[in-house]
Amino acid sequence: MIEIADVGKRFVLHNQGGAILDVMHAACLNVRAGECVALVGASGAGKSTLMRMIWGNYRCDQGSIRVAGVELCGAQARDVLALRRSRLGYVSQFLRVIPRVPALNVVAEPLVVQGVDEDHARAQAAALLTRLNIPQRLWALSPTTFSGGEQQRVNIARGFIHPWPVMLLDEPTASLDAVNRAVVLDLIREAKTHGAAILGIFHDAAARDAVCDREVDMAQFTPAAAGAA
């Protein structure tokens, strides 16, 4: 479901003397349906960069990234948007929301965008928030006022409300307590059972061992001279 071949990434910083950062070289990686693969490597090895290139908010300059059959290198904006609407899910590290929108609607949004009836979408959102132990009195409030762990759980609920065939997880268990961490690991296992192809970054080694089938070390794709720059 995710096929990455010979991918390279370079940042050119025009306003800092045209500095060039080579951060990735000839990255290759495949994730099949029903499989969870962990990206590992030190800080600056390019784990998040690769995730963002798959999500499409970093441009892919070199090589090929195919997600659910769609080539992302050189893709049109509308093709990437269509992919994100129903086939590619992303749990980022931080929640970015409009102030004033209730948590329940934030979680339901990915379904509503796909045309699911709003009441039905909110009912599913409520079920997930309950499962992630977000008290009902918070549902009508904007997550901007929530604690870090609560925001992260809202983010996870939003990421798991639709059975995306391909999922990207950036530190899904960070800042969670043991109970909620177990819930998230269960959600990941269920997604795998449904056939999702999952690529994740997990600093929590126990969580990684619990859900991931194999690891890919990003260090092998880091250009020798540049390092993390």
Q: Which residue ranges make up the site for other proteins (CB under 8 A)?
A: 11-15, 52, 56-59, 77-78, 80-81, 96, 98-101, 112-113
Nearer residue to other proteins within complex by CB, 96 or 137: 96
What's the CA gap between 206 and 112, in Å, rounded? 35
Distance separating the N- and C-terminal Cα atoms of the chain: 31
Contact between residue 128 and residue 161 where contact means Cβ atoms under 8 Å apart: yes
SS3 229: coil
Q: How far is the CB of 15 from other proteins (least distance, A)?
A: 5
Edge to edge, the sheet with strand 166-170 lists: 88-91, 166-170, 197-201, 36-40, 214-217
Q: How far is the CB of 13 from other proteins (least distance, A)?
A: 7
Q: How far is the CB of 94 from other proteins (least distance, A)?
A: 13
Q: How far is the CB of 178 from other proteins (least distance, A)?
A: 33
Nearer residue to other proteins within complex by CB, 113 or 205: 113
What's the CA gap between 51 and 5, in Å, rounded? 14
Nearer residue to other proteins within complex by CB, 40 or 108: 108
Nearer residue to other proteins within complex by CB, 58 or 146: 58
